């Protein structure tokens, strides 16, 4: 059990090592079992903070999450709201500040509950025949919008869905016939169900809601979207009479389309949903009403078929249907929309130069102000002038903070990783820059080993991020964390090559149809620049590691830039780009990145295809792949390992039958890290 329960959840100075304690770098099991803090939610008066704390039972290979509450004044300790034995998620405080709602499967299925803010036993709110996956309270607190997974032919009949399930209890055949894609998505096969949006009345005291009205049934789509959609994809109007939701039609075009639209629907289900953004064939999402209900704010991309386009902030006059872009001069992509109390600003996070700050965007002028900089702001809430946010960095997982919007009085409301792991020493980090492709400025980070001593040199882990539209910036990861390499005594180098996010849309766009040239040039020049700027890097003892697109680049490096590396590590990488264009589930991705389908533009798929350069492979490689990875199917990793073995190159294959594109189970995570670390030790020492 974590020591956190014994500590006040307030900012404290780092304590000295206990007598006899041995300082060390971050180890894989410490990363996998570290308590995680998330979901900061304030009471309406801003006086109390509700948050989630996740703990891991390593022996049981599972985690559980509880809700806690504490004063924002810094004068009191955190107390647990949800009982032991309850695993909960999605906290939300009622507008009257009296209740904290949440979802839990304690009763056998995922249902809505609440606990009084002052503490008490959980009260069940819904008893639906299906799992409730997401929810939102109406402004008046009398109804809830909720999402449940249903069969399309059952429409609004919830009981029909349970009968549908029983029909399949003892099938005489396991064969399944599909007549369109998606046949599978992310890590799940298509069972013919859709996430649908319903509205139910909040029950009277002592009662539970077991029926709900389907709304927007004319839109056959997942609400929220799969696989990562959430409650931000639907919202109530201020009077509680209407809802706006974002959806993409679940039809034959779905695997090739990024066309999400915003729909307006009566909350009582009395009329069909009306498409508000039909004219824009790209992605529209994240609706938020103005206080008077006359304006709808939302985020929109401009280019159909491109999932990494910039999200612009938009304002729509609901009377006329006319929209305008709020922030046309801000070359950053907004993550969400939270309106200020006076309705004049939008609070949002957005990547920026290797950081992920919190911003305020003036709705009238489009002017932008940075409210919280440094590190990665992962979530926030604003109530009554009080700001609560969670932030992580290259030295700590999410830590909760509270304070004023003006930055005054900000204090920690939960411990950092260093306070939880008092014997761990984290490697210091520094951002650097150099001239990359097209003589443009490119940024990267260097992380020192935990036991760094001036004048010494250290082997290097050269990490390559995925996406490819992503970033290895100033943030914390529970999968690819540079501190786990620094914890083994390695220095770490990470380059945000062309295609990375947070440096302007043109920089992000530069990688499309250029997977193997522009990013490679940045990586090569970044590797050279890092060695010139940091004398402690031992370039003669270095391994390159990457996942997803980073895994693609490892395969590409194996055939096109293998001179510097003593070993390579590839996790769930694209080995055959041509086959990726046929086998990945989200086909729009390969189409955009390669300028068409494999049969329309075969030259583009072959130009930077790693499989064509296997003849040049020579460096020892560890290949990792998971069976439930439907984004980049496991056959890609198996084929790469087969090539290595047939060529007689030292190689290993780590296979997870029960993981997806990510390795999530605690013990599997430790197995992953230990295998990678052993591979690095074998080839570059430490």
**pLDDT, tens digit (0-9, with 9 covering 90-100), for 400-439:** 999 999 888 999 999 999 999 999 999 999 999 999 999 9
Are both 492 and 635 inside the same structural domain?
A: yes
Task: Using DSSP, state whether 64 is helix, strand or coil.
Answer: strand
- Boundary-marking domain end, from 270, 285, 314: 270
449 and 333 in a common domain = no
Choosing from 661, 669, 673, 683, the catalytic residue is 661
Q: Given the structure tokens 């052993």, which residue do they identify?
A: 678
At 98-117, the pLDDT tens digits run 999 999 999 999 999 999 99
Q: How many CB atoms lie within 10 A of CB 323?
A: 19
Residue-level pLDDT at 1: 29
Is position 92 within any domain? Answer: no
143 HSE (CA, 13 A, CB side): 21
Give me the pLDDT at residue 176, please: 93
User: Residue 608's beta-bridge partner residues?
Assistant: none
Q: Is the same domain home to 285 and 153? A: no
Residue at which a domain ends, from 351, 369, 387 = 369
Q: Is the domain of 559 the same as that of 634?
A: yes
SS3 217: coil
Asked whether residue 95 is domain-assigned, the answer is no
Active site residue 73: no
Report the pLDDT value the prediction gives residue 12, as an integer from 0 to 100.
Answer: 32
**Domain boundaries, position 155:** 125-165+179-270
| Claim to verify: residue 341 and residue 489 sit in the same structural domain | no
- 293 belongs to a structural domain: yes
Cα gap 270→665, rounded to integer Å: 44
pLDDT attached to residue 686: 79
| pLDDT at residue 292 tops 60 | yes
- CATH number of the domain at 656, please: 3.40.50.1820
User: Are 440 and 330 contained in the same domain?
Assistant: no
* Residue of 39, 333, 548, 651 marked catalytic: 548
Residue 606 above 80 pLDDT?
Answer: yes
Helical (H) or strand (E) element with 55: strand 48-57
pLDDT of 168 = 55
pLDDT tens column, 167-180: 655 678 899 999 99
Strand 458-464 versus strand 491-496 pairing type: parallel
pLDDT bucket at 2, cuts 50 / 70 / 90: very low
Beta-bridge partner residues of 658: none
Question: Three-state SS string across 88-145, please?
Answer: EEEEEECCCCCEEEEEECCCCCCEEEEEECCCCCCEECECCCCCEEEEEECCCCCEEE
pLDDT attached to residue 639: 98
150 with 282, same domain?
Answer: no
Q: How far apart are CA 26 and CA 397, in angstroms?
A: 12
In a domain, 13, yes or no: no
Distances (CA, A) of 629 to 178, 235, 421, 493: 20, 32, 32, 27
Q: How far apart are CA 322 and CA 311, in angstroms?
A: 18
User: 73, 4 in Cβ contact below 8 A?
Assistant: no
648-659 mean pLDDT: 98
From CA 450, how far away is CA 492, in angstroms rounded? 11
Domain boundary among 251, 270, 289: 270
Domain identity same for 199 and 345: no
The answer as to whether 562 is a domain residue is yes
Residue 167 has a pLDDT of 63
Same domain, 241 and 301: no
- Report the pLDDT value the prediction gives residue 164, as an integer from 0 to 100: 77
Told to judge if 661 belongs to the known catalytic residues of this protein, a careful annotator would answer: yes
Query: What is the per-residue DSSP string for 651-677?
Result: EEEEEETT--SS--SHHHHHHHHHHHH
Could you tell me which of 644, 636, 653, 633 has the C-alpha nearest to residue 576? 636
382 has which bridge partners? Answer: 387
Q: Are residues 246 and 325 in the same domain?
A: no
Average model confidence (pLDDT) across the chain: 95
Does the active-site annotation cover 423?
Answer: no
Same domain, 535 and 666: yes
pLDDT in tens, 192-250: 999 999 999 999 999 999 999 999 999 999 999 999 999 999 999 999 999 999 999 99
User: What is the model's pLDDT at position 159?
Assistant: 85
Count of domains for the chain:
3
> How far from the centroid of its chain's Cα atoms is residue 141's Cα?
30
Integer CA distances (angstroms), 522 to 234, 481, 490, 493, in order:
40, 21, 22, 13
Reply yes or no on whether the pLDDT at 539 is more than 70.
yes
pLDDT at 4 over 70: no
Based on its alpha-carbon atoms, the radius of gyration of the chain, rounded to whole angstroms, reads 25
Measured over the CA atoms of residue 442, residue 447, residue 453 and residue 457, the dihedral's sign is negative
Predicted local distance difference test score (pLDDT) of residue 21: 64
Indicate which residue of 572, 629, 669, 683 is catalytic: 629
Residue 161 and residue 247 in one domain: yes
Residue 34 has pLDDT above 60, yes or no: yes
Q: Within 13 Å and on the Cβ side, how many CA atoms surround 72?
A: 28
Q: Is residue 465 part of a domain?
A: yes
pLDDT band at 80, cuts 50/70/90? Answer: very high
Residue 29 maps to a domain: no
Residue 410 in domain? no
Tokens of 187: 């890590």
CATH of the domain at 338: 2.40.128.660
| Percent of residues, the chain, with pLDDT higher than 70 | 96
């Amino acid at each position: 059990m974590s020591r956190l329960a014994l500590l006040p959840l307030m900012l404290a100075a780092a304590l000295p090592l206990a007598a006899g304690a041995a300082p060390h770098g971050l180890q894989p099991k410490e990363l996998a079992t570290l308590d995680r803090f998330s979901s900061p939610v304030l009471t309406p008066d801003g006086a109390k903070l509700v948050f989630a704390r996740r703990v891991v039972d390593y022996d049981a290979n599972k985690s559980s999450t509880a809700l806690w509450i504490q004063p924002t004044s810094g004068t009191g300790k955190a107390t647990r709201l949800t009982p032991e034995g309850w695993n909960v998620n999605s906290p939300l405080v009622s507008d009257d500040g009296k209740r904290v709602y949440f979802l839990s499967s304690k009763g056998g299925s995922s249902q809505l509950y609440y606990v009084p803010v002052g503490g008490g036993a959980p009260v069940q709110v819904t008893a639906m025949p299906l799992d409730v996956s997401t929810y939102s309270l109406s402004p008046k607190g009398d109804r809830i919008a909720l999402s449940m997974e249903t069969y399309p032919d059952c429409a609004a009949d919830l009981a029909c869905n349970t009968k549908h399930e029983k029909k399949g209890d003892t099938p005489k055949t396991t064969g399944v016939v599909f007549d369109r894609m998606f046949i599978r998505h992310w890590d799940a096969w298509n069972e013919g169900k859709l996430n649908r949006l319903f509205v139910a009345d909040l029950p009277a005291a002592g009662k539970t809601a077991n029926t709900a009205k389907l709304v927007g049934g004319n839109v056959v789509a997942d609400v929220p979207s799969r696989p990562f959609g959430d409650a931000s994809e639907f919202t109530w109007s201020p009077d509680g009479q209407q809802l706006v939701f974002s959806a993409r039609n679940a039809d034959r075009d779905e695997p090739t389309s990024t066309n999400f639209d915003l729909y307006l629907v009566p909350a009582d289900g009395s009329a069909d949903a009306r498409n508000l953004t039909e004219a824009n064939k790209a992605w529209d999402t994240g609706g938020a009403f103005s206080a008077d209900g006359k304006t709808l704010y939302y985020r929109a991309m401009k280019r159909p078929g491109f999932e990494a386009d910039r999200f612009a902030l938009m304002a729509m006059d609901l009377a006329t249907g006319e929209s305008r872009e709020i922030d046309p001069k801000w070359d950053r992509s907004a993550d969400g929309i939270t309106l200020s109390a006076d309705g004049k600003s939008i609070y949002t996070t957005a990547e920026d130069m290797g950081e992920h700050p919190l911003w305020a965007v003036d709705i009238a002028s489009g002017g932008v102000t940075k409210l919280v900089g440094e590190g990665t702001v992962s979530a926030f809430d604003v109530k009554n002038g009080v700001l609560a946010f969670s932030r992580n960095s290259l030295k700590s997982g999410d830590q909760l903070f509270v304070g004023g919007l003006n930055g005054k009085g900000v204090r920690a409301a939960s411990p950092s990783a260093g306070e939880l792991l008092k014997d761990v020493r984290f490697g210091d980090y520094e951002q650097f820059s150099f001239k990359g492709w097209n003589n443009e400025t490119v940024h990267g980070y260097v992380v020192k080993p935990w036991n760094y001593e001036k004048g010494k040199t250290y082997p290097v882990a050269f990490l390559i991020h995925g996406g490819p539209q992503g970033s290895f910036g100033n943030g914390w990861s529970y999968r690819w964390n540079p501190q786990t390499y620094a914890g083994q005594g390695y220095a770490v180098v990470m380059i945000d090559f062309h295609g990375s996010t947070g440096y302007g849309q043109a920089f992000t766009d530069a990688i499309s149809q250029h997977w193997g040239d522009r990013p490679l040039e940045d990586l090569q020049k970044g590797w050279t620049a890092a060695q010139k700027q940091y004398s402690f890097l031992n370039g003669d003892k270095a391994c390159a590691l990457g996942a997803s697109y980073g895994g693609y680049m490892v395969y590409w490096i194996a055939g096109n830039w293998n001179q510097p590396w003593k070993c390579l590590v590839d996790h769930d990488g694209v080995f055959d780009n041509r086959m990726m264009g046929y086998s990945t589930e989200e086909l729009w991705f390969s189409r955009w990145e390669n300028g068409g389908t494999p049969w329309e533009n075969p030259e583009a798929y072959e130009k930077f295809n790693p499989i064509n350069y296997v003849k040049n492979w020579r460096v020892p490689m560890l290949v990792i792949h998971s069976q439930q990875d439907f984004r980049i199917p496991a056959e890609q990793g198996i084929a790469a390992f087969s090539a290595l073995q047939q060529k007689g190159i030292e190689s290993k294959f780590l296979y997870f039958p029960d993981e997806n594109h990510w390795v999530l189970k605690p013990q599997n995570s430790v197995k992953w890290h230990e295998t990678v670390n052993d591979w690095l030790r074998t080839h570059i020492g430490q």
